[in-house]
Amino acid sequence: MKKYLLLLSILLALALDMNAQMHISTSLRRDAVFNLKTQTYDLIGEDHEELTFFDFNQELTMFKHTTPSITSAYIIKSTVEDKEHERWEFDVISDVGNKYLMILDVKNNNIRFIAEREDGTYLVQHTIKKIWFDE
């Protein structure tokens, strides 16, 4: 498994450097809210049936997220790469103006969206099923 993750992270790094189009499918969605007392996220929902797709453009400036009920577009405003932890952080804005911190975490096999709202901090986490690239 470690060899697979290492190969996947190398391919991801190469694809990001070469501007290849990246696609990600997911197999599980978890929703959570940040608990100020425990300083952890409390799970509020889990959906094993929510299979989704992320399609990034070649320049890694935009992506489309397709779920069973809606397709949304996002602009990537900034990117921070953490090669050591195989993680990329993106500040993104949705097509309806919502702002998120999106974390592509290859090492932990998930994509996370974190949003600050008036009533708290929310997390939506998608488990990665597969990552592939177009050339």
**pLDDT score of 10:** 45
Residue 2's pLDDT band (cuts 50, 70, 90): low
Predicted confidence (pLDDT) per residue in 98-109, tens digit: 999 999 999 999
What does the alpha-carbon distance between residue 49 and residue 34 come to, in Å, rounded to a whole number?
A: 24
Q: Is the pLDDT of residue 69 over 60?
A: yes
Domains of the chain (ranges; CATH) run 2-134 (2.40.160)
What does the alpha-carbon distance between residue 123 and residue 102 come to, in Å, rounded to a whole number?
A: 10
What is the model's pTM? 0.83
Q: What is the b/e burial string over 19-29, where b = at least 16 CB atoms within 10 angstroms of the residue's CB?
A: ebebebebebb
Predicted confidence (pLDDT) per residue in 85-131, tens digit: 999 999 999 999 999 999 999 999 999 999 999 999 999 999 999 99
